[in-house]
Structure 1
């Protein structure tokens, strides 16, 4: 029966794959979008730091794609010394195999002075809110921008206009100094977030001088708006509320939801939500006596709480005041709601593909905790992962035969928990249905805990909830009887307390995944500091034959660093157009 399931799953996957053709992307080739990555001094929040930028700004320009339609995005690495990539955060596995943008996993990074043409094709039914960012080192703190996938049909909800609101962090130290401190035997923390930026803008109450301003979200009285919130922070897990306005959630991570009314949002790094906001009428504004309301953003689960603001401003009156910062919060200071939205948020349309417990072929439990040895690291099942391991990208090694997927799978199965400690990967066969449990544990030294926004590349997962203590499959299945899990690509592993006993369980998050698309996919905490400190792992879906069958034999230019698939000033790239 299992072989039949695998064969059917592979046939379905192959039905979507197109061999494409090898094309010389010369001057006659016109990409749909062009992004240029640079490094330079840049001013945010009344401070200047040396930062990696996209098209000279942070955030970079908004990209708009259409579901079911192929788009080519050319990324130039205009930096002098550093590699880069761009990852299309939340887009599913139906990109070309080397277009996920993960160095050491699915592609060689783009060398300085080179460019790479990414081919992306959002799936039908995944219209929604996404973003792009570098996946090298700490670059994503500034090298990012919004990405919107428009529906081929009218959206299921009516609204007059939309606004995109991207949240990010500011750190005083440079990327290099932060990484050096985090990875040194003389461990040095990055410091806490200096500011929460909204669309690249922030101002503190202490900024008595300087030209920085609060971000302004301008709306018209009486209209309805779709607000697209993007959690592009490096570290911060935030609570966000709009003074005197409630909203209704209609989308999470690229999937429409049944409307859910709320007075606040909790947004972890990597998460996205769309909400509907009904603007006040002129009569209501006159009664309120103002046309400007604060958007209050508060950090959660950090040693110190930081509250920053943006402005929701109604047109038709005096210009927005973007320099006055409240001396005290206009709204109550937020606290973490553990398990927010768990078992409450549901898909707008029935999802008959949700795998039941009976369909699960294997459960993988991933224990995560911090450890202090010669330096401070984060471990998954006893191992950390950094970009220097492996020495070449896994996907490249699969194509060249250097990585034996059959041996990796047998070792992982024989060890009992599905993890191959030699390659530090979790392999799975096409047709399997995995239940993946992230189990939070107290730090080995003092039992300390943290909250983690876990993100999966490749196929979206079904989020089947979370809770305190240790995962109990039977108890959770009872809770699922009254809930229809959403597909997500980033969800929160809560900590439930600041400390517990060393290695004691304190919080879990569980997913279910149908293994349908061959490839190499990163699964990781989306806090940049934690990633640098080893909180990443890799899932290999399918064996070598599955990978090659899904995408055809690959061209040699993809298999070497700076190969012919990467263009520069002397030659155009030789690129496989996978979708024709």
Structure 2
């Protein structure tokens, strides 16, 4: 046992984290049971996944030097599961990333995790399997320093923040992959002509349309509730004059939060578990997967609201701190984002000076305020290797990655023990991305130089930059990914892989479900996709394959029907489009395109396939062509068929209001000549819209559009 603990101690040394913690000899044991349950976090009874019967799971409490022994029991009927100990330094086989470092936990089985606790602070745990984190598989970890807390408090509370959707998370992912604007409509955030005019930003709106710049939003999903410790509203006891430590953990799947207390300024004393010199803030911006310890002082009797507001302004959760009786004091409202003014959005995202972080109504991450109490400087004698990583994505297709590639296309960042890895991060997208590195702390290089803070997660705002660096003093494979759950699943993931030999007891016996075969550039050796890191094979797990998604849309109108069926992955679309009509024509007419389309860039597609029709003067034929997006988001296409005919077309949709759109299309075919249509649609909900449309061949009519 002692020899094994000493081996683990050597394995878990990390950047600037002292290894002076002495084992206490105490073993702290927990049992975590993951099972399915019907719950109502947002007022509607839906399927949830719980840990020990609740959301969140229990708080796991340790002292530095303890040995953690945690048995995870999978009581799910048909699903594997996993548990990642977020922010903890431990041997790679204990990290809990299924099929990458740690075996799957199959239904009806138990896996025991055992590792030395050699750090203190606020951390958390969650499933790293598919979208189970969104369904409720998460909880918190509190580790007390051996010498006690430096900053004493009269009360100590964990506040675990999260977002909740009544929708199946896999359906959420599918809606995002299809490019649906349904969530923006639900939140009232869909950009439109009327909305721009009301905001006094019509010029900016039309300018963005001309530049083919996608509308900005600050959250991908419309949530049904925001929670603190599993509830939208709750109370905590504290007396007047007491100092309260709040351990804030953002366990949201895709929500940034602004935290603010009615008691006044908060004092940050730790970030991601690591101590920082105390600094006061009025409003704290917290990215997914980050943790902050803050101190507040209760001014007088009564109830004082601690509020966490979603970044997009769509809702908040509250804890009332105080004791019975007295006045209720509410925290201030956070102004909603000005979505039409990009400069305003960028200023808010990129503010990094001392004054703006204190005074901004919508501040960014407080990294420039954070200063480590001790030096975090890395050893000078170590070689430094810079790794440029550009954060890239396409919101329309919901594809995210690094340097233009998803993990399925480029999975590994090789590293050798004894070097310093410096990640130069540049965000080329218009979304925030919280980037988390497993098994290490890194320096977030800021104005404090040698005292730059240590973190395991860093937020990168739209068009923002950051430099993080760490000493490669580990072994094995460690995931580096965007902790916005749906971005990670869509490809914004890499594996930092040590090319050094892996100790025999750290080689997991992985058993793949067999659901995914080999991917181009990878190999499948009977245990799922793998990639060669220069010295050994690395398991890629569930992220080592391209995601496929399927959806459809069809209209049923009084005079015609049109629609499509789509099967998509990263660069490939297979679809069937149809148009059929029966009004103002002698016989029922149809035209069906069965096509393959290749994504060549945000504005260019190439396609080919067959066109089937019974229209007069037309016949079935092969077709091929290009689609190109012009300024003002006008789609143009040129099509050539096997009969030598050419078709040119233009199409455009305009959002008039949040729910009302107008659209039009005109086409000229050298065989059948002119055809055009125009209409309007009104969004009822995610599955249904109303539509009225005039078609040059079938006349005018109306009906419904159904999305599935």
1:196 aligns to 2:226 (yes or no): yes
Which SS does the other structure have where 1:113 is aligned?
A: coil
1:252 aligns to 2:271 (yes or no): yes
Question: Match for residue 72 of structure 2?
Answer: 75
* Residue pairs, 1:440-451, within 5 angstroms: 440-442=427-429, 449-451=430-432
Question: Match for residue 411 of structure 2?
Answer: 424
Q: How far apart are the structure 2 equivalents of 1:527 and 1:14?
A: 30
Which SS does the other structure have where 1:530 is aligned?
A: helix
Shift of 1:177: 2.2
TM norm structure 2: 0.57
1:371 aligns to 2:394 (yes or no): yes
Question: Match for residue 316 of structure 2?
Answer: 308
Question: Match for residue 206 of structure 1?
Answer: none
1:458 aligns to 2:439 (yes or no): yes
Question: Match for residue 128 of structure 2?
Answer: 135
1:381 aligns to 2:406 (yes or no): no
Q: How far apart are the structure 2 equivalents of 1:146 and 1:14?
A: 23
Question: Match for residue 83 of structure 2?
Answer: 86
Q: How far apart are the structure 1 equivalents of 2:395 and 2:297?
A: 50
Q: Which of 359, 384, 402 is the matching residue for 1:361? A: 384
Q: Which of 333, 336, 354 is the matching residue for 2:335? A: 333
Q: How far apart are the structure 2 equivalents of 1:332 and 1:140?
A: 27
Greater mean alpha carbon deviation, residues 180-189 or residues 134-143: 180-189
Q: How far apart are the structure 2 equivalents of 1:480 and 1:365?
A: 22
Question: Match for residue 283 of structure 2?
Answer: 264
Q: How far apart are the structure 2 equivalents of 1:200 and 1:314?
A: 20
Say whether the 8 Å CA contact 1:13–1:516 is kept in structure 2: no
Shift of 1:172: 1.8
Shift of 1:104: 3.1
TM norm structure 1: 0.69
Which SS does the other structure have where 1:32 is aligned?
A: strand
Question: Match for residue 560 of structure 1?
Answer: 511
Say whether the 8 Å CA contact 1:51–1:174 is kept in structure 2: no
**Considering only CA atoms, is the larger Rg found in Structure 1 or Structure 2?**
2
Q: How far apart are the structure 1 equivalents of 2:108 and 2:512?
A: 13
Q: Which of 105, 108, 113 is the matching residue for 2:108? A: 113
Question: Match for residue 466 of structure 2?
Answer: 509
1:488 aligns to 2:455 (yes or no): yes
Which SS does the other structure have where 1:131 is aligned?
A: strand
Say whether the 8 Å CA contact 2:269–2:276 is kept in structure 1: yes
Q: How far apart are the structure 1 equivalents of 2:164 and 2:333?
A: 23
Say whether the 8 Å CA contact 1:363–1:436 is kept in structure 2: yes
Q: How far apart are the structure 2 equivalents of 1:122 and 1:528?
A: 27
Q: How far apart are the structure 1 equivalents of 2:9 and 2:95?
A: 20
Say whether the 8 Å CA contact 1:355–1:512 is kept in structure 2: no
Aligned residues: 434
Question: Match for residue 156 of structure 1?
Answer: 150
Say whether the 8 Å CA contact 1:520–1:539 is kept in structure 2: yes
Shift of 1:46: 1.6
Which SS does the other structure have where 1:140 is aligned?
A: helix
Question: Match for residue 404 of structure 1?
Answer: none
Question: Match for residue 163 of structure 2?
Answer: 169
Q: Could you list the per-position Cα deviations for residues 369-402 of structure 1 after superposition, in whole angstroms to 9, with x for gaps in the alignment?
A: 11379x53112122212xxx5xxxxxxxxxxxxx
Say whether the 8 Å CA contact 1:365–1:438 is kept in structure 2: yes
Which structure carries more strand by proportion?
Answer: 2
1:535 aligns to 2:492 (yes or no): yes
Q: How far apart are the structure 2 equivalents of 1:488 and 1:243?
A: 28
Structure with higher RCO (Cα < 8 A, 6+ apart): 1
Q: How far apart are the structure 1 equivalents of 2:44 and 2:465?
A: 38
Shift of 1:182: 4.3
Say whether the 8 Å CA contact 1:292–1:311 is kept in structure 2: no
Q: How far apart are the structure 2 equivalents of 1:330 and 1:156?
A: 30
Q: How far apart are the structure 2 equivalents of 1:343 and 1:531?
A: 26
Instruction: Could you tell me which runs of 5 or more consecutive residues in structure 1 were left unpaired when the two chains were aligned.
Output: 1-11, 19-29, 203-213, 286-290, 390-420, 443-448, 466-478, 496-505, 563-580
Say whether the 8 Å CA contact 2:36–2:50 is kept in structure 1: yes
Which SS does the other structure have where 1:61 is aligned?
A: coil
Say whether the 8 Å CA contact 1:96–1:119 is kept in structure 2: no
**Counterparts in 2 of 1:153 and 1:363: CA distance versus 1, 3 Å:** same
